[in-house]
Amino acid sequence: MLETPNALIWVCRLRHRGPDWSGLHCHEDCYLAHQRLAIVDPTSGDQPLYNEDKTIIVTVNGEIYNHKQLREKLKSHQFRTGSDCEVIAHLYEEYGEEFVDMLDGMFSFVLLDTRDKSFIAARDAIGITPLYLGWGLDGSVWFASEMKALSDDCERFMSFLPGHIYSSKQGDLRRWYNPPWYSERIPSAPYDPKLLREAFEKAVLKRLMTDVPFGVLLSGGLDSSLVAAVASRHMTQSETARQWGSQLHTFCIGLKGSPDLKAAREVADHIGTRHHEFHFTVQEGIDALEEVIYHIETYDVTSIRASTPMFLMSRKIKSLGVKMVLSGEGSDEIFGGYLYFHKAPNKKELHEETCRKIKALHLYDCLRANKATSAWGVEARVPFLDKEFINLAMSIDPEWKMVRPDLGRIEKWVLRNAFDDDEKPYLPKHILYRQKEQFSDGVGYSWIDGLRDHANKQVTDTMLMNASCIYPENTPTTKEGYYYRAIFEKFFPKSAARLTVPGGPSVACSTAKAVEWDAAWSKNLDPSGRAALGIHAASYEESTDVKTANLVDGPSKKLQSLAVKTATVV
């Protein structure tokens, strides 16, 4: 039995995710608590949400973009709010546990059925919104948007798998999302640029569903620029977006003098947005590291490097009164956009690697984008990870995604070509065909070098030499990795916490595949894009160029949090 005051303590740890309202429902020894960031229906959509007789209670972190269509299927039900998430309670009442695949959106939710004291929890297909599952020594089962809400009370906890549902009746996780591409079988659908473009435009348009001010994170790279260009074109087609005017707001952050800031400004001028530039220094980033690691809950080097400027920018964005932004995560995973994909030997291996990258997004880019923004009560929506768009893009014969210099095809050519419109250009040609910049490298090589220099001053050679004794699990292999690990362990000392970070801190998750494709990669353990030997224009140059944070091109509704404890049903 968890006392109510304790419930209030652990939900307060997630108040940053949803500062607009707090809700708590108690049923015997079951508690559903919610911190709300009000994006849709701010006046009446407070959570938890209920069915008509309040026997079904649900708390949701996410956006259900097709909620209006689902309401048409539920005309016999009475809705109390205009919240997009209320459909979940009624869908369960109508269809039972098998309704989750009907949802189009990003979500993590927990639902309690008081009629038999059963409960379910589910996470969206890709894991855009975070969710953790934990177990207490007393047999209790816990769920929360961040593990900091579970770390004191759970002996063991883990990242809830994307595309899965947990049912107390069955006592285990099962997969609800089973698209054809998930088996990694090689697809054979022809490439249709018009179909791909229309699917992405639809994905962006549905994410303009909002009752609060919003904008787009714009770095000047391909993915963020396409999101901004499409959003700007379709602003007038969204009923809710129109109330904030016809001019889209875009945001960019970088070190002063950054050429990427210039590129973002050029894109903003081309598409006609109200553009906002923010600057930060290397020292400001270093000063924020502890807070960043506390919020993003990882010691992965690449994630921390990329999260820091995004974290700093989200604070600025929130100060302007903006509560929702569109972001460009996922494109590189879907289309093989990272520079090591240049070395893919054949379409089979390329496709299998894109599948593995998408399946790992919830541990890397989705985690970063969600937690770095929600730390300041800002929601990030990601149109490239739209369920319908992914299914279409992953059905294309991967031969079209292969880098073919002999045919003039660079990385992500299928996406670039789909938006190459001479009559009504979405983007300037040199932006549309701009080379991929690794997310953390996009901040500027001086940013990464500054982090390394700082870590080298904090970690001695002896400390690194004995790292395996201190950190036998996922042992750090660089001083920078050791430094981040030490900060992480200070906040999250339990073994269960460190095991939520896969693969070790100093080697990117696909380094093994990169080395397999090109042995030259083994010469560099650093996950920086500069490891793209002979591919990236700036690879291994002693560059002092300063580049902006590529806040979208690198890898959630109300980024409100849910933290739920229920009794185990025997």
Every domain of the chain and the residues it spans = 4-180+558-566, 190-448
105-113 and 164-167 as β-strands: parallel, antiparallel, unpaired? unpaired
pLDDT in tens, 302-348: 999 999 999 999 999 999 999 999 999 999 999 999 989 999 999 99
pLDDT of residue 99: 97
Judge contact between 414 and 439, C-beta under 8 A: no
Cβ proximity of 184 and 355 under 8 Å: yes
Give residue-wise pLDDT tens across range 91-125. Answer: 999 999 999 999 999 999 999 999 999 999 999 99
What confidence category does residue 519 fall into, taking pLDDT thresholds of 50, 70 and 90? confident
Q: What gap in Å lies between CA 134 and CA 568, rounded to an integer?
A: 12
Neighbour-count burial for 206-216, b at 16+ CB within 10 Å, e otherwise: bbbbbbbebbb
CA–CA separation, 21 and 317 (whole Å):
20
Q: Does domain 190-448 have CATH number 3.30.420.40?
A: no
Q: What are the helix (H) ranges across 38-132?
A: 67-73, 87-95
Q: Kind of pairing, strands 105-113 and 56-64?
A: antiparallel
| Model pLDDT, residue 507 | 43
Tokens found for residue 493:
């000392």
Given pLDDT bands bounded at 50, 70 and 90, which one contains residue 550?
very low
> What is the mean predicted confidence (pLDDT) over 445-465?
94
Residue 562 confidence (pLDDT): 45
Of 17-26, 307-316, 495-504, 528-537, the range with the lowest mean pLDDT is: 528-537
How many other C-beta atoms lie within 10 A of the C-beta of residue 116?
Answer: 10
Reduce the DSSP state of residue 366 to 3 states and report it: helix
List, as one string, the DSSP characters of 243-289: TT-SSPEEEEEE-TT-HHHHHHHHHHHHHT-EEEEEE--HHHHHHTH
pLDDT score, position 468: 96
Backbone angles phi and psi of 566, in degrees to 5: -135, 165
For residue 208, the Cα-to-chain-centroid distance in whole angstroms is 17
Long-range contacts of 265-269 (CB under 8 A, 24+ apart): 265/220, 266/220, 266/428, 266/431, 267/218, 267/220, 267/225, 267/228, 267/229, 267/427, 267/428, 267/431, 268/218, 268/228
The answer to whether residue 255 scores a pLDDT higher than 70 is yes
Asked if the domains at 4-180+558-566 and 190-448 fall in one CATH topology, the answer is no
pLDDT tens by residue, 5-34: 465 666 789 999 999 999 999 999 999 999
Question: What confidence category does residue 445 fall into, taking pLDDT thresholds of 50, 70 and 90?
Answer: low
What is the rounded CA–CA span in Å between residue 534 and residue 519? 13
Pick the more confident residue, 468 or 339.
468
CB contact at 8 A, 505 and 481: yes
In the structure encoding, which two tokens stand for residue 305, read together?
């490097």
Residue 556 has pLDDT above 80, yes or no: no
Report pTM. 0.91
Q: Name which of 230, 239, 223, 216 is nearest 322 in CA terms.
A: 216
Read off the tokens for 281. 């220094």
Higher pLDDT among residues 468 and 238, named by residue: 468
Q: Is the peptide bond before 405 cis (omega within 30 degrees of 0)?
A: no
Q: Do the beta carbons of residue 501 and residue 485 sit within 8 Å?
A: no
The CATH label, of 3.40.50.880, 3.30.2020.30, 3.50.50.100, 3.60.20.10, for the domain at 4-180+558-566 is: 3.60.20.10
Q: State the pairing for strand pair 214-217/324-326.
A: parallel
Lowest mean per-residue pLDDT among 167-171, 216-220, 299-303, 504-508: 504-508
Bridge partner residues of 250 (DSSP): 216, 275
pLDDT band at 405 (very low <50, low <70, confident <90, very high): very high
User: What average pLDDT does this structure show over 33-38?
Assistant: 93
CA distance 348 to 254: 38
Residue 438: band (very low, low, confident or very high) from pLDDT cuts 50, 70, 90:
low
Percent of the chain with pLDDT strictly greater than 90: 76
First to last CA, the chain: 15
Residue 428 confidence (pLDDT): 92
Q: Encoding tokens for residue 398?
A: 């991967």
- Three-state DSSP class for residue 122: strand
Q: H-type helices in 323-444, by residue range?
A: 331-335, 347-359, 365-374, 387-393, 413-418, 429-432, 439-442
> Quick one: how far is CA 7 from the chain centroid?
27
